[in-house]
A and B are shown apart, each in its own frame.
Chain A
């Protein structure tokens, strides 16, 4: 039995890896969930076909990051997995059901004639519901979970608070921004013009929600407040809000100029910075204020074996994911290029 526990801090490494997997999920599935939310508002059916074609080759792979997030949490932090999943039982089950509708809608609308409208609706509401539930899950986690011994000990609706509703809406707005800027990059003509208008509009909401969360989170727990505003950390952490502000400005400029690529990249940067901010706030908790990364971690032998796999496979996965995006580069077609 081998273990790297002597050489590296395994729980920390795995915390970083899981965080990266979740971030990649949020960014990748974020734009295709956002696109689903925007779907019924598109100006024409032709636009809608193009929208679906722009993500059809990728959605399966994007969703796999969610499986890695869940599977990885089970593998690396079984205690956290065992506490968080029952605590957020209802939003997680609803999210899964929404993802089912959204996922199959992709395949079915290509084949349906009369019921195409039905699957378009399933695509929209599935995406919307999944995004909203993911925001609630985020909020429910960040605001803290009741724990006794090694189990969740709170009520079934503990997650239902004003804060989690707000994070739910915030994630919906954020995904729509990613979706709209993705469309600016992957389409042209009518669809692109519409996406540009939408992005400008939704950006206001994203700014609003990011501002609200940033003001709210430091008051959830004293430790978070101290971390951000303590003089010895303040200047080190200052670049995060400053860069966020810069990204907003750059995004507005990019949208005004009609850039094709920069809005999407700036949206990704915004998500990344917001995520980093939450990470800074919650460190070193994995179940906030109750269980730390180190306490929840699997045994060192388990983490070591997994690390070998992750170090070899993650770069390979990123390479062939990039290759797939490269193959389907450029503007999305109007016609389904199926089969």
Chain B
């Protein structure tokens, strides 16, 4: 061992004046930071990931956690993270894995876009007094309607509409599989979406029986591993989503390690217990856009053309052209997953370096579809890096119909974004399959928290719309006129088709 130990990432301290030796930290820490030795609590800071489970349950606020207690010699090129990655790989010779989303300090485009409000020339609308419509339909819309109108004012609708999902707020919960997250976590999300009148995705891990009561608010996913897919699964979903790629790791597949494939996961995924669940990088029946079309249509055929079929892609450089291809494949919605999207586990090199931000991807996809006159063929669902209601409003102004949230829903259940989902030790019972940890998460309590979050965002969206003099979400969609760029460069302003502030 020539490299020796790497400086601590976190230092944990217990204030002996405050500590009453209750041992809750010892019980709660799933990473082995604490141990009780006689009348003392010993700390091993090296194990700490800053998930804050201990501080959240310490009744005396006795615990403090400090980040990076040891300084490196500062260097603008050879940052601490770069050096530690080299140490890590020099020792292991492996690909470095991590959880959650992109950690590099790229500028947030959302934070450089400003929303508009009315003053004098048009009145703002008070959502407490006037109707404010956030209802959104996800799916194919006709380009024009054909009506037979009668002199008495009656009219027959001759156009047949494709199936659409009706949501009461443009916020849905994205696909996080059973396997990546725990069953109680999925149950909490399912309860929340069914009460709000929105939808959640199963992820590629199948649909556990205990979620059947919520199936009319669940979108089932078909990914390259085809885990848990049979006709029963397809028929239970309100919609079907084909996952081509994911924002956190565009271009590669997934890998659920065998130790997470417990009996229940094995049944739901339809694979042997303890076996690795490997999703290949491409679908082995999709090597071109026409193959995708066949799969879309096969899924529709299997479910008698009663369900919308979505296609999810990672936001990559050519997302606009790919989305235009998808729009012509009979798909009903395209999901664009930006490079800040979270994940249970991904190679760091992909998570941090591959793909583009959702803001630019949605803007270019919407523009391309309109240019080709096929915007009505598909809805656009934006995901990956939606952190707050303002982001929802902004991405809708850029052209999205609705959003998927992931990380923020997990944070609403206690997740502290410690980024170690890949280790399966989640002390909050979210990203783990260990029964002693998953039982920590009460689906009912957490459903209320997730519901509160979406409800709060929905109220804020309604206020933002009212302030902008808009009482229907359709009029926000693609309304780039109501956005201004805050010190964005001209090239990006052109892509976003947004004017600079003051203009």
A-B interaction: no
B positions within 8 Å CB-CB of A:
none
By a beta-carbon cutoff of 8 Å, the part of chain A in contact with chain B is none
